[in-house]
Structure 1
Amino acid sequence: MKALPFKIPKTQHNAILFQEDSSTLFYDKLHQHEEIQISCIIKGEGTLLISDTVHPYKQGSVFVIGSWQPHVFRSIYRNGEISNMFSIFFSPSSFGETFFNLSELQKTHAFFEAATYGFQPTIRTDDLVSIFYKMQSASEYDRLILFLELIKLLSVNSKKLLTTGLFTQILSEHEGKRMSEIMDLILTNFHKKLSLEDAVTTANMTKTAFCKYFKNRTNRTFFDFLTEVRIHHAADTLLRYPDLPIQLIAEQCGFNNLSHFNRKFRHYKDTTPSAYRDSQGS
């Protein structure tokens, strides 16, 4: 299966595709596709890497991924437990060039504007999850009606944008494979000691070429991106395991110095680890 680009198996007679992924691990290669993707996590937890950012996900999380945004859902493997995700794939043009420009659908423009960056709805997620469950067994006609209801709710919902919008490239298969291997290195080994040489070897590039390549595609240095991944995992672990000592969490996420961890955590989260745990966990 090609890493990038990724072909969505939608027939020419269907405007939308409903897909259910059920496995111990979701498809774990960085990929991109033309279709807008709306995904709902039914069961499981892990990390969504999208373009130049990382975000934790868990049961009930809903994400909108824009056209051609490189992304991968990296599941946390837990003793063979199954992860389950429902997704809708569609291209606006499948409905005709002017459908979403109709005056009756003017409110959907907020959805498509935010989808350019990718976004996560922040309220009424239970209503969104309910629609996905109904879609699972619905006829094609009813599924289309439910899809429009889903777009309606997502259009008026409060939104957390997922990316900076700076990454707009459509990657070649070769580039996609290279980026996938680099991201796999980071997401699989962030808790270990990772060096620039490890990344350079994985990418099969010189150090100078790699640093320029990575910065151009993520708007971050390799170590800035690695640190951000570590902080995201640390923040998630702080809330999932409220009794776990902060120093142990720092070590498990790749920090061997507590003061350095505290300083980086404050930089990314604007608060201390203990204050974050107290405020988010309450």
Structure 2
Amino acid sequence: MRVLQFTIPVAHEKNIIVQRDVLPHFYPHLHRHNEIQLTWVQQGEGTLVADNNMHTFRGNEIFWISDNQPHVFKSDPSYFLPRSKKKIHAMMLFFNPVGPLAPLFELQDTKGIKAFMHQHKGGFKLPQSQVADISQKMLRIRDTSGAVKMICFLELLQSLYNIKDLVSLGAGVQSNIPNEHEGVRIGSIYNYIMQHYEEPLTLEDVAKRAHMTPQAFCRYFKKHTRHTFISFLNEVRINEACKQLTAGSYESIANIAYSCGFNSVTNFNRVFKTVTGKAPGEYVDHYFHHVETSFAPEP
């Protein structure tokens, strides 16, 4: 995947960076950076693209993005409407595992944490049952300084290390550092598809947007994303359908299918099972039987 190389805009003397964002929407471009990123989405919803995989995100969820892992937290299209008053609230913790902190992870007592970071190059999502504890540890890091901050940071990493049921986000296969032109181009294509998935998008439409012939676009898109145009569009649409199905209330499966860009319920059911491995009804039953809810509002 070709993405923008991103520099975290903070003072260079800081080894552990905590950033709080309250914005109309998340940063909308595919990017990566040298730092590991732990993101607590306090308020907001949308789609997380990590490597070439898509995941729904909602408020009070925490995600680990590995160093140099391509990603974007793409807010729902409703956040980009002209009169939208929606806001996202998020707290991010950044640290570079091979920067000034590298000697810390060479100590005998922290080699397990170093192995943990290497094992999770694809990133992960925390189980909901762990969000309250980890978010409180993030707040303690934010509110401390000096040696106390470092102690809290190590406690956070040790707690993450002890969690067994982490949900992987991506494959963890990292490509070479891209040039900026390619990052902007593929990011623009992703953004266009994710903002117009509910429309009857065609290959010709998106190829024209990318200033390519359909044949050239197919080769380009598959090379840089390992998806075909149709497989990516289907995943975006099914990801949106999953959000609507698990939101708690909906009129019918048919309404969801049409609102997500499918032209028939039969086609929707077929694609849904191909992407998720379950029929829509089975997916909902599984979700509400296995997902715990817990809330940890920020003080």
What TM-score range do you get, normalising by the shorter chain? Answer: over 0.9
Counterparts of residues 2-151 of structure 1 (less than 5 Å): 4-76=4-76, 77=78, 79-122=84-127, 123-151=129-157
Is the 2:18–2:94 Cα contact (8 Å) retained in structure 1? yes
3-state SS, counterpart of residue 32 of structure 2: coil
d(CA) in 2 for partners of 1:142, 1:204: 53
For each residue in 1:114-173, what CA deviation from the matched residue of structure 2 results, as whole angstroms up to 9, or x when unmatched? 431111122412111112233333335433322222211222212111112345232211
d(CA) in 1 for partners of 2:12, 2:174: 29
Q: TM-score, normalised by structure 1?
A: 0.92
Question: Which of residues 213, 218, 222 is equivalent to 2:225?
Answer: 218
Is the 2:198–2:237 Cα contact (8 Å) retained in structure 1? yes
Structure 1 partner of 2:294: none
Identity, % of aligned positions: 34
Is the 2:68–2:174 Cα contact (8 Å) retained in structure 1? no
d(CA) in 1 for partners of 2:147, 2:198: 47
Matched letter for residue 273 of structure 1? P
d(CA) in 1 for partners of 2:93, 2:176: 23
d(CA) in 1 for partners of 2:51, 2:211: 21
Is the 2:120–2:172 Cα contact (8 Å) retained in structure 1? no
d(CA) in 1 for partners of 2:113, 2:212: 44
5+ unaligned residues in a row in structure 2: which ranges?
290-299
d(CA) in 2 for partners of 1:96, 1:271: 44
> What displacement does 1:237 show?
0.8
3-state SS, counterpart of residue 124 of structure 1: helix
For each residue in 1:156-191, what CA deviation from the matched residue of structure 2 results, as whole angstroms up to 9, or x when unmatched? 212111112345232211011001100101110111
3-state SS, counterpart of residue 95 of structure 1: coil
d(CA) in 1 for partners of 2:123, 2:85: 30
Structure 2 partner of 1:242: 249
d(CA) in 2 for partners of 1:96, 1:278: 44
Structure 2 partner of 1:188: 195
Aligned residues: 280
| 1:161 partnered with 2:161 | no
d(CA) in 1 for partners of 2:202, 2:147: 53
Superposed CA RMSD in Å reads 1.9
Query: Compared with structure 1, are the counterparts of its residues 234 and 194 closer, same or farther at alpha carbon in structure 2 (3 Å cutoff)?
Result: same
3-state SS, counterpart of residue 201 of structure 2: coil
Query: Compared with structure 1, are the counterparts of its residues 246 and 133 closer, same or farther at alpha carbon in structure 2 (3 Å cutoff)?
Result: same
Matched letter for residue 4 of structure 1? L
Structure 2 partner of 1:275: 282
Moved over 4 A (4+): none
Is the 1:52–1:217 Cα contact (8 Å) retained in structure 2? no
> What displacement does 1:96 show?
4.5
For each residue in 1:69-115, what CA deviation from the matched residue of structure 2 results, as whole angstroms up to 9, or x when unmatched? 22111123464132111001111123344321211012213431243
> What displacement does 1:42 show?
1.1
d(CA) in 1 for partners of 2:85, 2:9: 28
5+ unaligned residues in a row in structure 1: which ranges?
none
d(CA) in 2 for partners of 1:259, 1:96: 54
Matched letter for residue 72 of structure 1? V
Is the 1:26–1:83 Cα contact (8 Å) retained in structure 2? yes
Is the 2:137–2:156 Cα contact (8 Å) retained in structure 1? yes
For each residue in 1:236-255, what CA deviation from the matched residue of structure 2 results, as whole angstroms up to 9, or x when unmatched? 11010434311100111111
d(CA) in 2 for partners of 1:107, 1:244: 49
3-state SS, counterpart of residue 175 of structure 1: helix
